[in-house]
Amino acid sequence: MNGAQSLIRTLVDAGVDVCFANPGTSEMHFVAALDSVPEMRGVLGLFEGVVTGAADGYARIAGKPAATLLHLGPGLGNGLANLHNARRAHTPVVNVAGDHATHHKKYDAPLESDILAVAGSLQGWVRESHSTADVGADAAAAVAASMDPPGRVATLILPADVSWGDGGTAVAPIPPRKPHAVAPGKVQAVAEVLRSGEPVAVLIGGPACREAGLRAVSRITAATGAKAFIETFPARLERGAGLPTIERLGYLAEQATHQLSGIKHLIVAGTKSPVSFFAYPGKPSDLVPEGAQVHTLAELDHDVVGALEALADEVAAGVEPVLQEARRPELPSGPLTAQNWVEVIGALLPENAIISDETNTSGVLLPNATAGAPRHDVLTLTGGAIGQGLPVATGAAVAAPDRPVIALQADGSALYTISALWTHARENLDVTTVILNNSAYAILRMELQRVGAESSGPKANALLDLSKPDMDFAKIAEGMGVPATRATTAEELAEQFRAAQAEPGPHLIDAVVPPLL
Amino acid sequence: MNGAQSLIRTLVDAGVDVCFANPGTSEMHFVAALDSVPEMRGVLGLFEGVVTGAADGYARIAGKPAATLLHLGPGLGNGLANLHNARRAHTPVVNVAGDHATHHKKYDAPLESDILAVAGSLQGWVRESHSTADVGADAAAAVAASMDPPGRVATLILPADVSWGDGGTAVAPIPPRKPHAVAPGKVQAVAEVLRSGEPVAVLIGGPACREAGLRAVSRITAATGAKAFIETFPARLERGAGLPTIERLGYLAEQATHQLSGIKHLIVAGTKSPVSFFAYPGKPSDLVPEGAQVHTLAELDHDVVGALEALADEVAAGVEPVLQEARRPELPSGPLTAQNWVEVIGALLPENAIISDETNTSGVLLPNATAGAPRHDVLTLTGGAIGQGLPVATGAAVAAPDRPVIALQADGSALYTISALWTHARENLDVTTVILNNSAYAILRMELQRVGAESSGPKANALLDLSKPDMDFAKIAEGMGVPATRATTAEELAEQFRAAQAEPGPHLIDAVVPPLL
């Protein structure tokens, strides 16, 4: 078999059987080899940011990596923003970045670039395959590296001649490492903090944001009176009726400071001590209240859930978690507002849904409206690089074809990777996209004030304004093959959302919502 | 003044008075400062690839750099592909990439990334401003570096606190270096080659692709019988009636090999010795015929046009250049084909047009159809990173508001930076976009065969197919505020193209053209 065939066979043997692809000439042998390995599914994205974001969303739901196929340095560059988000989500991703043939690189052909620098910027795992005989072993190493706790972006650079050369062999998977056990005594030490009588908060992230971790934390807070928070942007958060509801730490430093005020101890598990998303003149970056002590129960590459369960058994033996009751908002009526659109979603969210949430300012009131909805997963914007929502929804839908995927998407952010809609149509994915169309970079209007910028004249305002012209996302979606409607009232949104749920396949609703602020 | 104000004032004083921007929170002081420097124009792009491609197109026409405003490492990453094209075009670009405040970086906030690695991959000029007092000098250095012959991408990293801090000063421009003079004796040595009686070809690129260079080369070929070619993807090529018509070297190695066959000497000026765009199994990367000698008359950072003029005076004293006669194709009729759409453009190209050409396979027959059209500029895909055409058209139209800009755009490539259309509408740019909609990555279908890939099964073919669903670019354009129509016959294309020229502002024609191959 050639290098490409050995690569794909090795990936499939390691459980990596979906490849989100945007290939070019140097990847043609990989493309041709897809037909020789029936288990591998190729999913075309029309821009690399779609491809990499889809791989992120896929792995968050599937619990195993997808491959990407990218065209040289510029293709990897186009995929970089959503790989940044994947890195922050600790998502396992296996990039296959094609490169020029080894003997061609010295000619500095037009597409030659410093692909190693671009790949290296992701601070994950990078390797270049130097010979066809190595490709299988390199691919097996890439998969293992991607899944090494807590998960990372692995990039395998595949020169065209290494791909087309003969003499490849499939290599057996390398079992991924298990998370480290938490050091003996750590749980007891943290338990002492909880028993101290001083105000304590527990901040969880990563794998703790799923049922087992949430139940353990709920037991701890029920037994000790500690506060508990979820990291601001979890990769995958399980929520809804029957699960503990735990508040997320706010995006704005002011919110987080308020949430943490008065605590003397912060116990951290599966995430880092909280810091401000951006710096602001005269405001601290570290959000831990002055004088409070931080206690790390479990780093991200440790057995976070096991540590929380052990802590719960220590301080909350026999105590049950507090579970969210089923409750939904009433269906609202009247023109859409930042307040009522979330009630429509809360009222109508289907069973077992996956929400890809890139609502930014428009979604501030969403968590409360959906807290008692049927159990669902929420995938958030982990790295702050906008343009993640539609691609992540793509990958989630590929990973879970039997679950409804709801992409709640801010208008400005949608434009970065809008062609994800075409992939929704191509693959007939059951994704309902709701665009929160407020014709502004609303979050930047707020940030312009928050950073203390002196003036806010017409030129500044024009750069934050998405009207003139207003966008019609229903037309854009139809142009890409996704049936679409426009809603301006709560009744229309409810009717269109219900209709989208009733029919399989992708739909888009352009929900015209005034800015929150 | 604060750092941002000193930066913008310094840029304006150096002649950089357009900033293509896609800002975020860390850039809010720059945004606010725009209103304090009236000469600076801010142009919003809804994706960084639009911003960087527009800066490339702007400078190709204006002959001076634009600034970009990008949001941290991920924003620079999103702009990387079109900066790669700008690098290959030797276009001066001044990136202002915002970064976290210097005191915030150690907290590894979600948007923290290795911005220096990403910027460094462009192999241009990179500097981080360390204090507000330095910003003016850093900005002046960035402009000078960008214009240092032959031109490059300069990236100034601007931490938020350096931007918002007080104590900035505007710094006077640094005069850019002049191109090196060609070494004494070089012109005479190359003249001897032309007089040798052996078969010679002259290959020109860079600044030689404009009127003065073309006239000099035409005189040389008229006097000596040498062949002449233009590099495959010139940044800016002047063409049309009244100028010498010189053939471009073909994209396919087979074409170029045929064009250069039989030559014993290749004289190179303003470009590099030709190499194959990609490697193919068993085919050479170096396109110079075996046994032929390469003579470099002028490197790109030398006075290329001066050297060609001196050479013409040496070998062609008194000889006039051969100028293209005015001629246009007849207007064709019938269903659109790869053959007849170019005749419509050739027949109707307006006076003094700028063509942004990303037609890929659909445009193979374009050069002949437009050779005798009124004088125009052609901007080509210099670095092979697709998604350049619509952004470059954006920047060209900002640089030359009095010239009609024609974006001839392949469908697959259009999707990478499709939101450029919104900027066309926002700025009311006189850009007529013609999408060559063949529902395929047609170039990759050809490349799949050319690389000798063994199979071409259904999974491989699906990754090269843009149908299922077909895209409706007229709807996409209307969704972004650009009036649009669809043409399926030559008559419709002609009528719609004429109508678009008759009315100022942006238009899009979705031209449904079967694949060439």
DSSP string over A135-189: HHHHHHHHHHHHHSTT--EEEEEEEHHHHH-B-----PPPPPPPPBPPPTTHHHH
A-B CB pairs within 8 A amount to 337
Structure tokens at B477: 């354009």
pLDDT tens by residue, A191-248: 999 999 999 999 999 999 999 999 999 999 999 999 999 999 999 999 999 999 999 9
CA gap A27, A164 in Å, rounded: 9
Is B444 in contact with A25 (Cβ distance < 8 A)? yes
* Chain CA centroid to CA A309, Å: 25
- Which is nearest to B119 in space by CA: B73, B88, B151, B82? B73
Tell me how close the Cα of A118 comes to any Cα of chain B, in angstroms: 6
Sheet of A376-380: strand order equals A237-239, A376-380, A354-358, A405-410, A431-437, A507-512, A484-487
A505 shares contact with chain B (CB less than 8 Å):
no
> Among partner residues B35, B122, B385, which is closest to A111 by beta-carbon distance?
B385
Q: Is B210 on the interface with A (CB under 8 A)?
A: no
Instruction: Specify the pLDDT at position B515.
Output: 81
| Of A337, A515, A348, A374, the residue nearest A438 (C-alpha) | A515
pLDDT (0 to 100) of residue A517: 61
User: From residue A109, how far is each of A22, B95, B356 by CA, in Å?
Assistant: 20, 24, 22
pLDDT of residue B517: 62
Write out the two tokens for B83.
């900066």
Q: Which of A17, A100, A121 has the highest number of chain B CBs within 10 A, making it the mutation to test binding with B?
A: A121
Average pLDDT over residues B264-272: 98
CB–CB of A383 and B121 under 8 A? Answer: no
Contacting residues of A for B418, CB less than 8 Å apart:
418-419
Q: How many CB atoms lie within 10 A of CB B100?
A: 27
Show me where the domains of chain B are located: 3-164, 186-315, 340-512
Interface test with A, best of B103, B107, B122, B381 (most A CBs within 10 A): B107
pLDDT at residue A455 in the model = 61
CB–CB of B103 and A455 under 8 A? no
Count the Cβ atoms, other than its own, within 10 Å of residue B74: 27
- Cα dihedral A32, A33, A39, A41, rounded to 10, equals -40
Query: Cβ contacts (< 8 Å) between A70 and chain B: which residues?
Result: none
Angstrom distance (rounded) from CA B470 to CA B285: 36
Closest C-alpha to A381, from A19, A61, A56: A56
Distance, in Å, from the CA atom of B404 to the CA atom of B352, rounded to the nearest integer, reads 7
Please, are residues A371 and A245 in contact by the beta-carbon 8 Å criterion? yes
Q: 3-state DSSP call for residue A303?
A: coil
Gap from B223 CA to chain A (nearest CA, Å): 33
**B278 in contact with A at a CB cutoff of 8 Å?**
yes
Average pLDDT over residues B314-333: 98
Residues A231, A66, B419: CA angle, nearest 5 degrees: 75
What is the Cα gyration radius of chain B? 24
How far away is chain B from the Cα of A469, in angstroms, using its nearest Cα?
Answer: 6
- Verify whether the Cβ–Cβ distance B285 to A383 is below 8 Å: no
CATH of A3-164, one of 3.20.20.80, 3.40.50.970, 3.20.20.150, 3.40.50.410: 3.40.50.970
Distance from CA of A124 to the nearest CA of B (A): 12
The per-residue pLDDT for range B386-414, each reduced to its tens digit, is 999 999 999 999 999 999 999 999 999 99
Distances in Å between the Cα of B421 and the Cα atoms of A410, B383, B466, B475 are 19, 22, 20, 12
pLDDT-based confidence at residue B184 (cuts at 50, 70, 90): confident
Assess A253–B contact: CB distance below 8 Å, yes or no.
no
Q: Which fold has domain B340-512?
A: Rossmann fold (3.40.50)
Q: How far apart are CA B513 and CA B516, in angstroms?
A: 9
Q: Sheet with B153-159: list strands edge to edge.
A: B41-44, B18-21, B67-71, B93-99, B153-159, B125-128
- Residue B371 has what DSSP assignment? T
Going by their DSSP bridges, the two strands A67-71 and A200-204 should be labelled as unpaired
Alpha-carbon A192 to chain mean position: 35
- Which B-chain residues 46-65 have CB contacts (< 8 A) with chain A? 46-47, 49
Q: Inform me whether the C-beta atom of residue B117 falls under 8 Å from chain A C-beta atoms.
A: yes
Cβ contact B470–A460 (<8 Å)? no
CATH superfamily of B186-315: TPP-binding domain (3.40.50.1220)
B81 closest CA partner among B424, B477, B413, B446: B413
Is A252 within 8 Å of chain B by CB?
Answer: no
Q: Which of B271, B450, B463 is the best residue to mutate to test the A interface, defined by the most A CB atoms within 10 Å of its own CB?
A: B463
Please list, residue by residue across A132-170, b when 16 or more beta carbons sit within 10 angstroms of its beta carbon and e when fewer do.
bbbbbbbbbbbbbbbbbbbbbbbbbbbbbbbbbbeebbb
B428 lies within 8 A of chain A by CB: no
Contact A460 B233 (CB under 8 A): no
Q: Kindly identify which residue of chain A lies nearest to residue B51, measuring between CA atoms.
A: A416
Mapped onto helix, strand or coil, the DSSP state of residue B432 is strand
Instruction: Give residues with Cβ within 8 angstroms of A439, minimum separation 6.
Output: A411, A465, A466, A467, A470, A471
Are A471 and B276 within 8 A, CB to CB? no
CA distances from B213 to A28, A252, B34, B218, B222 (A): 38, 58, 39, 9, 14
**Is A340-512 in the same CATH topology as A186-315?**
yes
Contact assignment for A276 to B104 by CB distance below 8 Å: yes
Which of A49, A452, A481 comes nearest B469 by C-beta?
Answer: A481
Distance from CA of B444 to the nearest CA of A (A): 6
* Closest Cα in chain B, distance from residue A389 (Å): 15
**Neighbour tally for B253: CB within 10 Å:** 21
User: Chain B partners of A429 at a C-beta cutoff of 8 Å?
Assistant: none
Flag if A460 and B104 touch (Cβ within 8 Å). Answer: no
ipTM of the complex as predicted: 0.97
Provide CB contacts within 8 A for A318, sequence distance 6+: none
pLDDT for res B26: 93
Q: Residue A12's closest CA among A35, A48, A39, A44? A: A39
**Per-residue pLDDT tens digits for A60-77:** 999 999 999 999 999 999
Q: Specify the residue for token string 């005020």.
A: A261
> How close does chain A come to B97, measured CA to CA in Å?
14
Q: Is A459 exposed, middle or buried, given 0-12, 13-18 or 19+ CB atoms closer than 10 A?
A: buried
Question: Which residues of chain B make contact with A478, given a CB cutoff of 8 A?
Answer: 472, 475
B294 touches chain A (CB under 8 A): no
Beta pairing class for B200-204 and B227-230: parallel
pLDDT tens digits for chain A (517 residues)?
999 999 999 999 999 999 999 999 999 999 999 999 999 999 999 999 999 999 999 999 999 999 999 999 999 999 999 999 999 999 999 999 999 999 999 999 999 999 999 999 999 999 999 999 999 999 999 999 999 999 999 999 999 999 999 999 999 999 989 999 998 899 999 999 999 999 999 999 999 999 999 999 999 999 999 999 999 999 999 999 999 999 999 999 999 999 999 999 999 999 999 999 999 988 999 999 999 999 999 999 999 999 999 999 999 999 999 999 999 999 999 999 999 999 999 999 999 999 999 998 889 999 999 999 999 999 999 999 999 999 999 999 999 999 999 999 999 999 999 999 999 999 999 999 999 999 988 888 888 887 766 567 999 999 999 999 999 999 999 999 999 999 999 999 999 999 999 999 999 999 999 887 6
Q: Is the pLDDT of residue B451 over 80?
A: no
The angle at the Cα of B440, spanning B435 to B444, to the nearest 5 degrees, equals 115
- Is the pLDDT reported for residue B455 higher than 70? no
Is B446 an 8 Å CB contact of chain A? no
CA of A390 to nearest chain B CA: how many angstroms apart?
15
Distance from CA of A377 to the nearest CA of B (A): 21
Query: Under a CB-based contact definition with an 8 Å cutoff, are residues B236 and B377 in contact?
Result: yes
Please say whether the beta carbons of B28 and B75 come within 8 A: no
Nearest to B77 among A28, A29, A81 (CB): A81
Q: Which of B117, B385, B457 sits opposite A117 (nearest CB)?
A: B117
| CA torsion, ordered A471, A472, A475, A477, to nearest 10 deg | 80
* Residues whose CB falls within 8 Å of the CB of residue A233, separated by 6 or more in sequence, listed in order: A88, A251, A380, A381, A382, A383, A384, B110
List CB contacts (< 8 A) between B51 and chain A.
Answer: none
Option in B26, B44, B382 nearest A462 (CB): B44
* Min Cα–Cα distance to chain B from A23, Å: 8
By 3-state DSSP, what share of chain A in percent is helix, strand and coil, each rounded to 5? 40, 20, 40
Residue in B385, B460, B477 nearest the CB of A31: B460
Secondary structure E strands in B139-247: 153-159, 200-204, 227-230, 237-239
> β-strand B354-358 against B376-380: which pairing, if any?
parallel
- State residue A456's pLDDT score: 75
Question: What's the rounded Cα separation, in Å, for the pair B401 and B22?
Answer: 22
Which residue reads 């070494």 in tokens? B183
User: CB of B282 within 8 Å of any CB in chain A?
Assistant: no
Residue of A nearest to B3 (CA): A453
Per-residue pLDDT, B272: 96
**Partner A contacted by B464 (CB < 8 A):** yes
Q: Model-level pTM?
A: 0.98
Nearest residue on chain A to B446, alpha-carbon basis: A25
Residue with tokens 């595949």: A158
A114 interfacial to chain B (CB closer than 8 Å): yes
Interface of B with A in 136-195 (CB under 8 A): 160-161, 164
| Cis omega (within 30 of 0) for bond into A244 | no
pLDDT score of A181: 95
H/E stretch holding B214 reads helix B211-224
- What is the separation of C-alpha B420 from the centre of its chain, rounded to a whole number of angstroms? 15
User: Which chain A residue is nearest to residue B412, measuring alpha carbons?
Assistant: A46
Mean pLDDT across chain B: 96
Instruction: Write the DSSP string, A381-449.
Output: -SS--SS-HHHHHHHHHHH-TTS-EEEEEEHHHHGGGTTHHHHHHHTT--EEEEEEE-SB-HHHHHHHH
Task: For residue B158, list its beta bridge partners.
Answer: B98
Q: Indicate yes or no: CB of B281 within 8 angstroms of CB of A164.
A: yes
How far A278 CA lies from chain B's nearest CA (Å)?
A: 7
* Interface contact A323, partner B, CB < 8 A: no
